[in-house]
């Protein structure tokens, strides 16, 4: 190999070595780790090598240092204009939460067993057989009107009346919300957070439970289910619209996989409440909610640093 080709090969390699750094700096918008004195001295030295190559008429030296100077000057320009030292947009904090929306059964209180037992007592006499918990829960999604329609279509009116009667009569077995829930709601109201209820239950059973638990005064809005099928995504969208909120300004707390998927459709942060015995923690985790919490205290710990600073408001008596 001739000295000329050897010099040309060396020049190609040393010059090409700067291309990845230049591309990385432009793409990442960062020259934070590059020393400004180093870049100034390096550009000065390369410029002198370029003059030397021109003086002696050495083509490899001229080509190598000319191209290297162009690349080095682009890095120096980025550094001098601070173009690469601006904070990344990804580090911008999310909007603070101004609203917390709750599911009811399995989230506010352990009322899912109550629903199952009331359905069983209302439907089994006409069905002429025993119904398993799995059979009853397989019809969940619509409100209780839809469940009665699925389990006892021939006696819908009587079945629904019986269900509500049993639901009210048996509610004394489930007299209070989950431990810590009332305290949490008081705290959120005190912080000025808007509270809403989004449940798949029907209107009558929802009101019965809220009245039983003494929680009616906490919730500014109550969205209930439909006999036609699940409508939680629609209900969440309606609240965002009515309250003029961006999705990131609210969080939905629910205990079922459907709660997670409904919130995800709208881009609403969602916390999976896994403190109920009926919650499937593995199924909830698989959907990757923003958090899976196993106690009301854990929910408080997740919410507290994310709440907007609000003005204290009157609390329910």
Cβ neighbors of 288 (< 8 A, separation 6 or more) are none
For domain 99-109+178-306, give the CATH number: 3.40.50.1000
Determine the pLDDT at residue 172: 95
**pLDDT of 63-119, one tens digit each?**
888 888 898 888 888 777 654 444 444 444 567 999 999 999 999 999 999 999 998
Residue 119 and residue 136 in contact, taking contact as beta carbons nearer than 8 Å: yes
Kindly tell me the burial class for residue 56, based on how many C-beta atoms sit within 10 Å of its own C-beta (0-12, 13-18, 19 or more). exposed
Determine the pLDDT at residue 1: 61
Q: Tell me if the domain spanning 3-90 has CATH number 1.10.3470.10.
A: no
Cα 5 to its chain centre, rounded Å, is: 60
Structure tokens at 10: 């060396």
**pLDDT of 256-271, one tens digit each?**
999 999 999 999 999 9
Q: Please check the confidence at residue 41 and state whether its pLDDT lies above 60.
A: yes
Kindly state the helix (H) or strand (E) to which residue 292 belongs, with its residue range: strand 291-293
Structure tokens at 83: 């173009």
Q: For residue 271, what is the DSSP state?
A: E
Provide the mean pLDDT of the chain. Answer: 86
Which pLDDT band holds residue 210 (cuts at 50, 70, 90)?
Answer: very high
Kindly tell me the burial class for residue 153, based on how many C-beta atoms sit within 10 Å of its own C-beta (0-12, 13-18, 19 or more). exposed
Q: Please check the confidence at residue 49 and state whether its pLDDT lies above 70.
A: yes
Strand order in the sheet with 99-102: 221-223, 194-198, 99-102, 250-254, 270-273, 291-293
Count other Cβ atoms within 10 Å, centred on residue 125.
Answer: 13
SS3 15: helix
Could you give the maximum distance between any two Cα atoms of the chain, in Å? 106
Q: Please check the confidence at residue 132 and state whether its pLDDT lies above 60.
A: yes
Which pLDDT band holds residue 317 (cuts at 50, 70, 90)?
Answer: very low
Cβ neighbors of 44 (< 8 A, separation 6 or more) are none
Measured CA to CA, the distance from residue 104 to residue 111 in angstroms comes to: 8
Determine the pLDDT at residue 71: 85
Which has the minimum average pLDDT: 144-148, 255-259, 310-314? 310-314
Q: Enter the pTM of the model.
A: 0.67
Determine the pLDDT at residue 18: 73
Determine the pLDDT at residue 133: 82
Q: Please check the confidence at residue 286 and state whether its pLDDT lies above 70.
A: yes
The residues pairing with 102 across neighbouring beta strands, listed in sequence order, are: 197, 253
**pLDDT of 216-241, one tens digit each?**
999 999 999 998 888 999 999 999 99
């Amino acid at each position: 190999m001739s000295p000329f080709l050897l010099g040309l090969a060396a020049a190609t390699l040393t010059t090409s070595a700067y291309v990845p750094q230049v591309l990385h700096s432009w793409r990442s918008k960062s020259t934070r780790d590059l020393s400004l004195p180093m870049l100034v001295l390096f550009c000065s030295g390369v410029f002198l090598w370029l003059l030397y190559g021109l003086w002696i008429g050495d083509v490899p030296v001229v080509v190598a240092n000319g191209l290297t100077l162009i690349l080095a000057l682009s890095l120096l320009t980025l550094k001098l204009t601070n173009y690469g030292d601006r904070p990344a947009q990804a580090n911008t904090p999310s909007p603070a939460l101004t609203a917390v929306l709750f599911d009811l059964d399995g989230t506010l209180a352990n009322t899912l067993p109550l629903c199952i037992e009331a359905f069983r007592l209302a439907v089994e006499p006409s069905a002429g057989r025993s119904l398993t918990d799995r059979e009853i829960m397989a019809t969940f999604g619509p409100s209780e009107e839809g469940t009665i329609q699925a389990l006892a279509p021939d006696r819908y009116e009587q079945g629904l009346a019986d269900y509500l009667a049993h639901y009210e009569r048996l509610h004394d077995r489930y007299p209070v919300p989950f431990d810590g829930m009332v305290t949490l709601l008081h705290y959120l109201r005190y912080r000025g957070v808007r509270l809403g209820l989004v449940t798949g239950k029907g209107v009558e059973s929802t009101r019965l439970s809220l009245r039983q638990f003494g929680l009616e005064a906490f919730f500014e809005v109550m969205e209930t289910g439909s006999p036609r099928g699940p409508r939680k995504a629609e209900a969440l969208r309606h609240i965002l619209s009515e309250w003029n909120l961006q999705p990131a300004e609210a969080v939905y707390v629910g205990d079922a996989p459907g709660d997670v998927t409904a919130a995800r459709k709208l881009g609403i942060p969602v916390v999976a409440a896994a403190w109920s015995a009926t919650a499937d923690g593995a199924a909830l985790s698989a959907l990757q909610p923003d958090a899976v919490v196993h106690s009301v205290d854990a929910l408080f710990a997740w919410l507290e640093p994310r709440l907007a600073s609000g003005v204290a408001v009157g609390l329910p008596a």
